[in-house]
């Protein structure tokens, strides 16, 4: 309360009530898998394919792609199909180390920015800069004969700052108490390795990777596709209210994917079949390559959410998968799924990827892996997740407010305004707002016993739209009267 001590006119800013709740993005993806280079463990926000190359390729590597690693193919498919932002986490063995070299006459140690064999190709070349005079050097970071980074005027006094402020490949540190002294020579980094093989996806890996990535809405693991891996991913995503995009191991026939599904856990995710074939970027003769579909699917998910809304199921002919040449063979005698196969898979919750005449390779199913009948479809889970996260973020201002009618009315206003916006965008079913959603926060669900425990309970409900999964056209033949 302001104090008024002398006569006059005073202007004050008066709060108009609670803040506005905005819907959070549901189109941000998350990837975890193998890469030759890049930050290990912690996820990195990437907003373009070039951004992926800058972080997880380069440094003397000829290509971001590898015949036996699928992360790069998945991220490329994500951006190719309309994705805009994603977090990428590189996995290495626990004993992975970065390449380095200690130059004792300079009293400096040069180390690759992150772990891996990739750093063993790096060289640091010091050449005297005669144009600048004694004590000035041109320093180049090279891989083979390729110059990756160059610094044209470096001295003993500023070499550390030069690398700290400019280099994306090498760190420099002092390794003794003696004065740093540069000299003309070439240093070769060595000792880098990728660590022991990592064959199983663990909960710890996922938690560490995405601990700070609070805006991730969906995650896939293109290099971890066994049943155990899929169940681990699904469990972690369900705990964090994130959507998991899974697929089989890639070798299953019709019977194999049915068995995979029967042993798959339930939760916030969906299962897709079969794998896809893309043009192999490593082939010089135009060969195709078999890859998990999750990255392409996630990009299509993101485009569908941005263009149509999180309430629209990501399936159908509107957004065929881009960059897919064909689906993988179902058996030696069957090239793609048939309607008879879909008749079996769809009720089991296996979403089919198949060619549709005149459209291309499309997703022909939108069932989730949830055991809750109300969360049967992909959009059911993703919409609920978006609403929950948006309300949680938007009602933070209510924490520690007095638990009285003013606060409860404010809560109703804030949540109702948010749900009205969702309804106006087509997210809910109903002829009007009263049929589409409700918000309850009064003395009936906030009795004195609850208020004494410091609890403010806000109950929100909404009418979820369901997809037109089966379009039935009935044609009647009527005889013309004579």
> Would you give the DSSP letter of residue 396?
G
Portions of the chain given CATH number 3.40.50.11780: 29-91+198-375
Of 354, 328, 333, residue with least CA distance to 342: 354
Rg (CA), the chain: 29
> With 60 as the cut, is the pLDDT of residue 223 above it?
yes
- Chain position carrying tokens 């064959």: 199
What's the pLDDT at 482? 56
Does the domain spanning 100-188 belong to CATH 2.60.40.4290?
yes
Question: Among residues 430, 440, 438, 433, which one has the least CA distance to residue 461?
Answer: 438
**pLDDT tens digits along 383-436:** 999 999 999 999 999 999 999 999 999 999 999 999 999 999 999 999 999 999
Number of neighbours of residue 344 by Cβ within 10 angstroms: 14
Q: Which of 419, 431, 410, 351 is nearest to 386 (CA)?
A: 419
Does position 30 have pLDDT exceeding 90, yes or no? yes
Q: How confident is the model at residue 17 (pLDDT cuts 50, 70, 90)?
A: low
pLDDT band for position 250 (50/70/90)? Answer: confident
Distance CA 438, CA 297 (A): 33
Instruction: Give Dmax over CA atoms of the chain in angstroms.
Output: 112
Ranges for all domains in the chain classified under CATH 2.60.40.4290 = 100-188
Would you state the pLDDT for residue 446? 95
Please compute the mean of the pLDDT values over residues 86-115 and round it to a whole number.
Answer: 93
Structure confidence by residue, pLDDT tens digits, 304-350: 999 999 999 999 999 999 999 999 988 888 888 899 999 999 999 99
> In this structure, which topology does domain 29-91+198-375 adopt according to CATH?
Rossmann fold (3.40.50)
Distance CA 466, CA 453 (A): 39
Section 189-195 average pLDDT: 94
Q: Exposed/middle/buried for 429, CB within 10 Å: 0-12, 13-18, 19+?
A: middle
For the chain, give the percent of residues with pLDDT over 90. Answer: 81
Q: Are strands 185-188 and 170-174 parallel, antiparallel or unpaired?
A: unpaired
Residue 480 has pLDDT above 90, yes or no: no
**How many Å apart are CA 297 and CA 27, to the nearest integer?**
12
Provide the pLDDT for residue 322.
98
CA separation for the pair 255, 297 (Å, rounded): 23
């Amino acid at each position: 309360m302001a104090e008024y001590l002398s006569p006059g006119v005073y202007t004050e800013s008066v709060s108009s009530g609670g803040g506005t709740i905005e819907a959070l993005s549901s189109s941000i993806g998350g990837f975890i898998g193998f890469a030759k280079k890049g930050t290990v463990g912690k996820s990195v926000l990437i907003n373009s394919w070039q951004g992926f190359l800058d972080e997880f390729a380069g440094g003397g590597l000829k290509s971001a792609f590898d015949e036996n690693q699928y992360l790069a193919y998945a991220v490329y498919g994500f951006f190719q199909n309309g994705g805009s932002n994603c977090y990428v986490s590189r996995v290495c063995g626990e004993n992975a180390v970065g390449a380095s070299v200690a130059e004792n006459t300079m009293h400096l140690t040069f180390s690759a920015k992150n772990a891996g064999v990739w750093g063993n190709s790096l060289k640091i070349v010091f050449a005297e800069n005669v144009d600048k005079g004694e004590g000035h050097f041109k320093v180049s970071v090279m891989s083979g004969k390729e110059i990756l980074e160059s610094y044209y005027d470096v001295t003993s006094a500023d070499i550390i700052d030069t690398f700290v402020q400019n280099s994306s490949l090498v760190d420099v540190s002092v390794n003794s108490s003696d004065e740093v002294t540069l000299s003309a020579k070439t240093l070769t980094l060595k000792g880098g390795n990728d660590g022991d093989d990592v064959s199983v996806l663990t909960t710890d890996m996922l938690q560490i990777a995405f601990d700070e990535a609070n805006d991730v809405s969906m995650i896939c693991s293109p290099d971890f596709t066994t049943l155990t891996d899929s169940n681990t991913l699904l469990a972690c995503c369900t705990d964090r209210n994130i959507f998991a995009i899974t697929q089989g191991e890639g070798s299953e026939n019709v019977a194999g994917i049915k068995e995979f599904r029967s042993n798959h856990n339930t939760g916030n995710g969906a299962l897709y079949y079969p794998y896809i074939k893309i043009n192999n970027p490593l082939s010089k003769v135009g060969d195709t390559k078999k890859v998990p579909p999750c990255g392409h699917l996630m990009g299509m998910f993101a485009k569908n959410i941005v263009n149509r809304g999180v309430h629209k199921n990501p399936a159908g002919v509107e957004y065929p998968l881009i960059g897919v040449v064909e689906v993988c063979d179902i058996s030696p005698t069957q090239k793609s799924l048939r309607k008879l196969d879909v008749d079996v898979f769809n009720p089991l919750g296996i979403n089919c990827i198949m060619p549709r005449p005149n459209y291309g390779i499309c997703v022909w199913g939108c069932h989730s892996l949830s055991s809750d009948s109300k969360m049967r479809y992909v959009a059911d889970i993703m919409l609920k997740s978006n609403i929950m996260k948006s309300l949680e973020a938007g009602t933070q201002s209510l924490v520690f407010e007095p638990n009285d009618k003013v606060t409860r009315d404010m809560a109703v206003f804030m949540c109702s305004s948010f749900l009205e916006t969702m309804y106006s965008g087509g997210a809910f079913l109903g002829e009007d707002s009263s049929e589409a959603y409700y918000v309850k926060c009064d003395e009936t669900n906030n009795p004195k016993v609850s208020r004494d425990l410091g609890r403010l309970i806000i109950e929100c409900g909404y009418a979820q739209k369901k997809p037109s999964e089966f379009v039935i056209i009935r044609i009647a033949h009527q005889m013309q009267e004579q």
